[in-house]
Amino acid sequence: MRHTFEVSAGQAASLADLILTTEFDDGIIVLINGNEAVRCNLGAPGMFIYSDQLAFNEDATEGNPTVLNLGRASDLLVEGENTIAVQVVNRDPDSPLFFDGALRIDAGISLINIVSKDFSSANGSSITHTNSGGLISNITTGTLRSGGWLDQSPSVRSGSNWTDFKVGVLSDPGAGENGDGAITYTLSGRGTEDEATLLFPPVDMSAHWIPGAITALNLNETRISFLYQGSPGTVFDFVAESGDGLISASGFPVVAASSDETLGYWRFDDGVASNGAVVLVAKDSSSNGFNAIPTSRGGGTYSNDVPGTIIFDPLANAARSNQFSMDVSASNRRLAVPNKSAFNTSFTIEMFVKINGEPAGYHTFLRRNAGSNSRWQIDFDHGNAGAFGRMRSRLDTPDGDNANFVLGPTGGSSVPAERRIWVDTDSGNGLVSSYNDPSDWSRDGNGLNDRPEWHHVALSLDENTGVVKFYFDYELMQTRALVDNDESGYVHPSSAIEFGKFGGNYGVLIDEIRYTGRPLDQDEFLRVVDNDLGAWATYEIDLANGDVDEQTALINYLNSNNLTAFTPGLRVREESYSEAGRTISLDSFQVDYTQGGASGDLVKNNQIWRYQAGIGEPSGGVFEPAAPVEEMRAEFVDWIELSNNGASGVDLTGWSLSDNETDLRKWSFPPGTTIPAGGYLLVLADDLDTAGISPVYLHANFKLDAGGEYLALVDDSGVLQTEFAGGFPRQLDFYSLGLPPGGGGYAYLSEPSPGAANGGPAYAGVVEKPDFDTPSGFHARSVTLGITTSTPGATIRYTTDGTEPTLKNGIDYVAPLSLSQINSRTGHSIRARAFLDGAIPSKIKSGSFLVGQNSNITKAPAMLFTADTERSFTKPYGVLSIDGGRYVDKKWEAVEKSDYNMALERGRAFERPAFIEFYAANSTRGFREDAGLRMAASNYSRPRMTFNGIENSPWSTSSRDKPSFNLYFRDEYEDSSVTFPIFGEDYPVDTFEQLRPRAGKNDINNPYIKDEVMRRLFIDMGNVGSRGVFNSLYLNGEWKGFYNTCERLREPFFQSHYPGSGQWDIRQAGNPDGGLA
Q: Are residues 291 and 415 located together in one domain of the fold?
A: yes
Chain-wide mean pLDDT for the chain?
A: 87
- Tell me: pLDDT of 257 over 60: no
Q: Are residues 183 and 207 located together in one domain of the fold?
A: yes
Residue 759 counted as domain residue: no
Q: Are residues 372 and 492 located together in one domain of the fold?
A: yes
- Tell me: pLDDT of 791 over 80: yes
Q: Are residues 245 and 126 located together in one domain of the fold?
A: yes
Who's near 454: CB < 8 A, 6+ residues apart? 306, 307, 308, 352, 353, 354, 509, 511, 528
- Decide if 500 contacts 298 (C-beta within 8 A): no
Q: How far apart are CA 767 and CA 789, in angstroms?
A: 8
Residue 32 counted as domain residue: yes
Residue 765 counted as domain residue: no
Which CATH number goes with the domain that contains 707?
A: 2.60.40.1260
Express each pLDDT in 946-995 by its tens digit: 998 888 888 988 899 999 999 999 988 989 999 999 999 999 999 999 99
Residue 582 counted as domain residue: yes
Please classify residue 154 by burial: count the beta carbons closer than 10 Å to its beta carbon, then call 0-12 exposed, 13-18 middle and 19+ buried. Answer: middle
Express each pLDDT in 540-594 by its tens digit: 888 988 888 999 999 999 999 999 999 999 999 888 888 878 889 999 999 998 8
The pLDDT assigned to 273 comes to: 82
The pLDDT assigned to 138 comes to: 96
Picking from 700, 731, 762, the residue at the C-terminal end of a domain is 731
Give the range among 172-176, 422-426, 530-534, 1033-1037 with minimum mean pLDDT: 422-426
Residue 879 counted as domain residue: yes
Express each pLDDT in 264-288 by its tens digit: 999 998 667 889 999 999 988 776 7
Band of residue 419 on the pLDDT scale cut at 50, 70, 90: very low
HEC string of 817-843? EEECCCECCECEEEEEEEECCCCECCC
- Tell me: pLDDT of 1047 over 70: yes
- Tell me: pLDDT of 630 over 60: no
The pLDDT assigned to 396 comes to: 83
- Tell me: pLDDT of 242 over 80: yes
- Tell me: pLDDT of 29 over 80: yes
Express each pLDDT in 453-467 by its tens digit: 898 999 999 988 888
Cα Rg of the chain (Å, integer):
34
Q: Are residues 132 and 100 located together in one domain of the fold?
A: no
Identify whether 770 is preceded by a cis peptide bond (ω within 30 of 0).
no
Q: Write out the residue range of the structural domain in which residue 644 sits.
A: 620-731
Query: What pTM value is reported for the model?
Result: 0.66
Q: Are residues 121 and 104 located together in one domain of the fold?
A: no
Q: Are residues 348 and 453 located together in one domain of the fold?
A: yes
Q: Are residues 451 and 303 located together in one domain of the fold?
A: yes
Q: Are residues 194 and 211 located together in one domain of the fold?
A: yes
- Decide if 311 contacts 319 (C-beta within 8 A): yes
Domain tally, the chain: 6
Residue 712 counted as domain residue: yes
Picking from 731, 763, 798, the residue at the C-terminal end of a domain is 731
Residue 757 counted as domain residue: no
- Tell me: pLDDT of 933 over 70: yes
- Tell me: pLDDT of 633 over 60: no
Q: Are residues 103 and 222 located together in one domain of the fold?
A: no
- Decide if 581 contacts 186 (C-beta within 8 A): yes
- Tell me: pLDDT of 600 over 80: no
Q: Are residues 869 and 905 located together in one domain of the fold?
A: yes
Q: How far apart are CA 991 and CA 968, in angstroms?
A: 13
The pLDDT assigned to 793 comes to: 95
The residue among 824, 827, 795, 830 whose CA lies nearest residue 812 is 795
Q: Are residues 348 and 471 located together in one domain of the fold?
A: yes
Residue 180 counted as domain residue: yes
State the average pLDDT over residues 358-366.
76
The residue among 289, 632, 346 whose CA lies nearest residue 482 is 346
Express each pLDDT in 888-897 by its tens digit: 999 999 999 9
Which CATH number goes with the domain that contains 174?
A: 2.60.120
Helix (H, G, I), strand (E, B) or coil at 445: coil
Q: How far apart are CA 798 and CA 790, in angstroms?
A: 16
